[in-house]
Amino acid sequence: MSQIVGLGISTQRATFITWNKRTGNHFHNFISWQDLRATELVKSLNNSFLMKLLHSSCRALHFFSRSQRMLAASRFAFTTQQASLRLFWILQNVAEVQKAVEEDNCRFGTVDTWLLHKLTKGSAYATDFSNASTTGFFDPYKLCWSGLITFLASIPLSILPPVKDTSHHFGSVDEEVFGAPIPIVALVGDQQSAMFGECCFQRGDVKLTMGTGTFLDINTGNDPQHTVGGFYPLIGWKIGPEVVCLAEGNAGDTGTAIQWAQQLDLFTDAAETEKMAKSLEDSEGVYFVPSFNGLQAPLNDPCACASFMGLKPSTSKYHLVRAILESMAFRNKQLYELMQKEIRIPVTSIRADGGVCKNGFVMQMTSDLIDQKIDRPAHFDMSCLGAASLAGLALGFWSDKEELQKLRQSEVVFKPQRHWQEYELSMENWVKAVKRSMHWYNKA
């Protein structure tokens, strides 16, 4: 342990916990980014008179000022994936948290902040810009917690942590934890960390991560970009004066769907699925809707259900597996088309990572559908690599990002092999299946 000179931490984002400021004891378990308990709150507040007033006022202000911040505010909507209204739900429903807030004895933290708190035994309390920007109550234009959004969501600013640079000396791991006081020199959200690990440093660089969910991120330089369809602005990283912004869209159930299929004994190992899918000409009219946790951009329906459609007596597990993999490629195409339509920044490169990108069938079909090359690296765990790179830069292990770019290695570049129109009928039918799955839980 004495040989370790620094620690970088990459974490799942928008999952949070609250705890007692004085004792350090948590009030509840982690509330995951996939948690749907705030669904009704989201719908209610998004349809409220207050939100309509906010949108109309900000549209008027944008008309006169041409401020991009006002334009973003005129399009703002709460989602279940943001921490904001899930935290509001906790504040409404957990009496112990309510009491702690009243007594100024409550702290809020995403996973990075909680780990920092635990590793330093309570001596450090902070988050970084990348994690803060995913909570839903951070202003990426002013680089601070948003007083307006915290007001709308009834969240007291006093419980939120200070926001520091992504590469920053946050404190040291208490010596009792690992046997040595290791400096913590980077905190970063997993998708931003993967973006950094992929060396997507230039405006227009795109990263496609396929893990538990799918995340499509584009580097927008120092300009936050907000869209109507569901891409949202994030801070990629802040290192000294440099602030890099991203626009991100996501699909919630990717690796989740594969794990579910494995639990149903459709296959023994996820590595088998590529061969299973390639053994068929098509899915024989079977379509899968990957919506265990609703549908995100561009559909934005938290009440959609997961489903298979087009099942027949002749349907085999091979058809089911192929339909699951095809649905991932179709969702990738939807996200990519939305990004092209609303971000309007020329794409310079596309790099893929995450466990599901090991599947050559999904990668090749995605390349065909979007008609773009996709570079898959030799190393798949880019979130880990990004955190290590940020820590190394902070410690002077690497001198600059150009040095990191020289270290990156590609395993394979997927090039379009079939025209996307060959998939057109299949995707049209899949879209029909998606529409039939939407608003399902509203019918209960």
Domain boundaries, the chain: 7-187, 255-443
As a whole number of angstroms, the distance between CA 144 and CA 159 comes to 14
> What type of residue sits at position 247?
A
pLDDT tens across 98-117, in order? Answer: 999 999 999 999 999 999 99
3-class SS string, 326-340:
HHHHHHHHHHHHHHH
Per-residue confidence (pLDDT) for residue 443, from 0 to 100: 54
> What type of residue sits at position 350?
I
Residues with pLDDT less than 50, the chain: 444
Q: Could you tell me the pTM of the whole model?
A: 0.94
As a whole number of angstroms, the distance between CA 232 and CA 253 comes to 18
Fold of 255-443: Nucleotidyltransferase; domain 5 (3.30.420)
The token pair that represents 396 in the structure block: 């002077």
Query: Which candidate, 431, 395, 36, places its Cα nearest to that of 239?
Result: 395
Cβ atoms of 117 and 132 closer than 8 Å:
no
Q: What's the full length of the chain, in residues?
A: 444
The token pair that represents 381 in the structure block: 């765990």
Cβ atoms of 45 and 78 closer than 8 Å:
yes
As a whole number of angstroms, the distance between CA 429 and CA 421 comes to 13
pLDDT tens across 45-81, in order? Answer: 999 999 999 999 999 998 899 888 888 888 888 888 8
The token pair that represents 234 in the structure block: 């994030």
| Other beta carbons less than 10 A from residue 103's beta carbon | 11
Query: Which candidate, 193, 167, 184, places its Cα nearest to that of 125?
Result: 184
The token pair that represents 198 in the structure block: 């992929």
pLDDT tens across 250-263, in order? Answer: 998 999 999 999 99
- Say yes or no: do domains 7-187 and 255-443 share a fold: yes
Per-residue confidence (pLDDT) for residue 210, from 0 to 100: 97
Query: Which candidate, 430, 220, 414, places its Cα nearest to that of 309?
Result: 430
User: Does 298 sit behind a cis peptide bond, omega within 30 degrees of 0 on the bond before it?
Assistant: yes
> Which residues neighbour 272 within 8 Å (Cβ) at sequence distance 6 or greater?
none
The token pair that represents 411 in the structure block: 């395993």
Give the three-state DSSP class for 396: coil
Sort strands 205-210 and 214-219 into parallel, antiparallel or unpaired: antiparallel
Phi first, then psi: give them for residue 269, nearest 5 degrees.
-130, 140
Per-residue confidence (pLDDT) for residue 444, from 0 to 100: 45
CATH code assigned to 7-187: 3.30.420.40
Tell me how far CA of residue 283 lies from CA of 50, 253, 314, 321, in angstroms.
47, 20, 11, 8
- Give the DSSP letter string of 129-176: HHHHTTSS-EETTTTEE-HHHHHHTT--GGGSPPEE-SEEEEEE--HH
